[in-house]
Chains A and B, each alone.
Chain A
């Protein structure tokens, strides 16, 4: 690990000041929420900051607050606090379940919601320091390499799979993200926060340089809404999802469904998708043969 200067800000204002100072002096600044992901990237020298701004010492931005307008979750709320919050468990079950499914208890106790949403891909080429799109290069080694856990949809030129469980739940919940810099705030819908590699294969989201995901905002939970999160793993725990599904469903009216045997276009497509992503490993090992996700594809199975 390269030597670095650690900064412990007490407030977000201090944090932005530290980020600004570091950048102005031409130093590479990294920001750590829980730091569980960043630490590993630093050990591998994939990220080599001169200054580390450690947000763990910031006292704000940890609260989970419910109001008539919904729920706001500070970006520094830990995954454990998200998964154990009564309101979230009851009314935004999908998010609590997704947070609870992340990694291991040790990581959830330290890792933050914003950090989980913003974590870097776990592609083994990227994590082994191959000079790929994610590491300042202009290739994706998975395309002709070991790509068992790479993208079937939305790939190209990079084929990473976004590793965040909570991201899937937040998109399904129609959450919005408050992004802050020292100059102010902008709010983007969760579904627009994550960027396809066709836009910029080096990054996974629309965060600008120096911008932080400071708050996650959930809309008011409507009556009768049920939600749940599930994922398929290669073992019982501590791997990233091979495929995951977040469902937010409002049940109203009828108990039964149709006047005759009904072939639902949407569920048919979903099923096809599910089979592709769990059951299909191209014999050639080349994900480039798969089709990109259609632009009109709905965000994870959602029936509002």
Chain B
């Protein structure tokens, strides 16, 4: 039975806006990021990259580069066969042993910017000069960029056997999900809507470029990495290098963002490790900003075909989805997201999803894999067709309710509350007008969209030590990718131990001193590592009760690595976003005048950083909705608009003042009822903006971004 959310009782330390515990270090430049690490005798590496989207290297001569004074090592596919798996083997299975298994250097190369060679030298300029001396002859091979062209029978093959990316079972077949009689659902529908929706390649665009410093001693590797998870980075480095996990130490004390593409280990980590081993001294690999935008993955672009049947009562009677995701030459993962238990909109589903290999950038994790814009959009389209006069926000909340009630029990369902509260705060009822009501060139419109992201539970670890001075040291393997995780962890510890924040020291970001952590991906750190802190604190408190406070040089130590499970329920974050836009149809400009995000992220541990998380997510969504698109020159396969300027990542001036309203709940799971935060805000944002543009102009745009060009073309 579904339970209605109730506002949780306030706690002593959590739930109060708290500045970041590392804020001073960050803003004064004292924080040491991977790129700041300098070790004695350290070399610098630079990477030569493919100027072609698909080519066979027929000759590579590094003699002149190696002879340049200051150059200590040159690696190419000829002398380095190091595997770079990192979840990137076909099917997403590490070491799948399939033809697509990725190495640091591949021949043939399969996208513009793929690594051809790496040089380690006494300084980055010497390394860069050496790259110019490497002689490479290529046999250019035919290439394909468009994912649907790539599926044609005469398309150039990225790997033998066709360009469909393998599914979770390593079969070159789409991932499918069928439930109920979809045909009957359509037959019983009052209206059936069909449409094609496309989304574009989005850059993760984190400020901190990719950087890694590696050093070896007695067969053990120490890696100063820029990673979202030191534990999984450590495990995958060990796997790739073929050494025991305890021979790898990963250190990451400060992170400058990742948004999904600094999970596991990466080529820069492995290159640093291999070059350091080769030269016997520490090596730093640091990408240029351009490499940061081209050599690694961002959000995959999609083509999505939807067919949605809507009953006279406006329920979704059936839906069929075919989705093609452009994966580049490697699948980082395999598009299993369709199978995730996302908020269902229909009993009857016929979903078919596949990744498609092509000769472009690798596409994958980027701040919520679910936020590809299409589905919500499409379903809203369907509904609106039936109920033009009533508008999107007037869809009675019970309808969302009904959708969910048909699913297995969703714990503490609060979407209805988010929609209702958001609509009230936004004054939806008085603001709503028929789509395209403004006759002048400047048109106002409002839109809303709902979203959810499952907030599961799982394993993570924490250790707490109490000394005789009454100081508590919390050991957690977080790196804090920018979310404020260190502060959140310290707050959870303060609450669990019932001591002020000032009595807590945090040791983080070092696999030598911290227990396993799930890492900061999937927005799960607070719920999972936070839970581990609470369990460790409980255990420590028991010890204190039994043994008393430690004295002298003695310590009390407690460790917990819980793996909590949800008992027969599904747990989710819910969001309802509302936006007011102004569209200047004469110049094709969209301005967001007001943006309200109403969210249930469970209990809010730190309102200050939580609000920032939602604001950041919405700003990324804005870029996806209106601006970002990776353009390739179709004749050469060269990406044209890389980097912050070219990619048109949204700036502060583009971002509206996002009002964030939390519907707080505590379901007893996670850390004090906390649910996932970081990714949630982006999920409804794209559809909310698209719906507002529809409401303003009366024109439905089905291709992202809804750029100035698209708006002008629609007007013509």
Contact = CB atoms under 8 A, between A and B. Distances in A.
Contacts of B326: none
Interface stretch (B258-266, B575-583, B641-649): B641-649
A237 B654 contact: yes
A46 to B, nearest CB: 12
B207 interface: no
B128 A236 contact: no
A237 B653 CA distance: 7
Contacts of A279: 712, 715-716
B188 interface: no
A246 to B, nearest CB: 17
A145 B631 CA distance: 10
A214 B653 CA distance: 33
B651 A125 contact: no
Nearest to A45: B132
Given A242-B708, A279-B715, A125 B650 contact: no
B635 A148 contact: no
Interface string B632-674: 0111101011000110101101100000000000000000000
A144 B635 contact: yes
A282 B635 CA distance: 19
A124 B631 contact: yes
A1 B587 contact: no
B587 A278 contact: yes
Contacts, number: 69
Contacts of B653: 235-237
Interface residues of A, number: 28
Given A235-B627, A239-B645, A145 B651 contact: no
B635 A145 contact: yes
B129 interface: yes
B125 interface: yes
A235 B651 contact: yes
Given A3-B125, A43-B288, A237 B640 contact: no
B442 to A, nearest CB: 14
Given A145-B634, A145-B635, A239-B645, A128 B707 contact: no
A203 B650 CA distance: 32
A239 B654 CA distance: 12
A173 B455 CA distance: 61
A194 interface: no
Contacts of B586: 278
Nearest to B622: A235
A172 B708 CA distance: 27
A222 interface: no
A153 interface: no
B588 A125 contact: no
Given A278-B712, A279-B712, A281-B712, A234 B631 contact: no
Interface string A147-169: 01000000000000000000000
Interface in B564-610: 586-589, 591
Interface in B682-716: 707-709, 712-713, 715-716
Nearest to B626: A235
B638 A128 contact: yes
Contact of B651 (A124, A130, A236): A236
Contacts of A148: 709
Interface in A118-148: 124-125, 127-128, 130, 141, 144-146, 148
B648 A235 contact: yes
A146 B631 CA distance: 8
B137 to A, nearest CB: 18
Interface in B142-194: none
A147 to B, nearest CB: 11
A238 B651 contact: yes
B129 A235 contact: no
A66 B640 CA distance: 44
Contacts of A1: 125, 128
Q: Which of A232, A235, A238 has the most CB of B within 10 A?
A: A235
Contacts of B716: 279-280
A107 to B, nearest CB: 10
Contacts of A144: 635
A237 B591 CA distance: 12
A2 interface: yes
Nearest to A285: B634
B654 A235 contact: yes
Contacts of A242: 708
Nearest to A243: B587
Given A148-B709, A281-B713, A124 B646 contact: yes
Interface in B43-94: none
Contacts of B587: 232, 278
B618 to A, nearest CB: 15
Given A1-B128, A232-B589, A124 B707 contact: no
Contacts of B641: 124
Nearest to B125: A3
Nearest to B289: A43
Contact of A125 (B132, B640, B645): B640
Contact of B129 (A3, A127, A238): A3
B386 to A, nearest CB: 34
Contact of B707 (A141, A145, A234): A234
A122 to B, nearest CB: 8
Interface string A202-243: 000000000000000000000000000000111111110010
Contacts of A235: 626-627, 648, 650-651, 653-654
B584 to A, nearest CB: 9
Given A124-B641, A145-B633, A145-B634, A239 B648 contact: yes
A262 to B, nearest CB: 23
A278 B640 CA distance: 22
Nearest to B587: A232
B712 A238 contact: no
Contacts of B636: 130
B709 A2 contact: no
A198 to B, nearest CB: 25
Given A3-B129, A43-B288, A146-B640, A234 B627 contact: yes
Contacts of A145: 633-635
Interface in B336-382: none
A242 B587 CA distance: 10
Contacts of A239: 645, 648
Contacts of A127: 646
Interface string A270-296: 000000001111000000000000000
A233 B651 CA distance: 13
Contacts of A236: 591, 651, 653-654
A281 B588 CA distance: 13
Contacts of A234: 627, 648, 707-708
Interface in A79-132: 124-125, 127-128, 130
Nearest to A232: B587
A152 to B, nearest CB: 13
A128 B588 contact: no
Contacts of A130: 636, 638
Given A128-B638, A237-B651, A281-B713, 17 more contacts: A1-B125, A2-B129, A3-B125, A128-B640, A145-B634, A232-B587, A234-B707, A235-B626, A235-B648, A235-B650, A235-B653, A236-B651, A236-B653, A237-B653, A239-B648, A278-B712, A281-B709
Interface of A: 1-3, 43-44, 124-125, 127-128, 130, 141, 144-146, 148, 232-239, 242, 278-281
| Complex A-B, nearest 3 residue pairs according to Cβ-Cβ distance, in ascending order | A124-B640, A236-B653, A237-B653
18 contacts: A43-B288, A43-B290, A124-B641, A124-B646, A125-B640, A130-B636, A141-B633, A144-B635, A145-B633, A232-B587, A234-B708, A235-B627, A235-B653, A235-B654, A239-B645, A242-B708, A279-B715, A280-B716
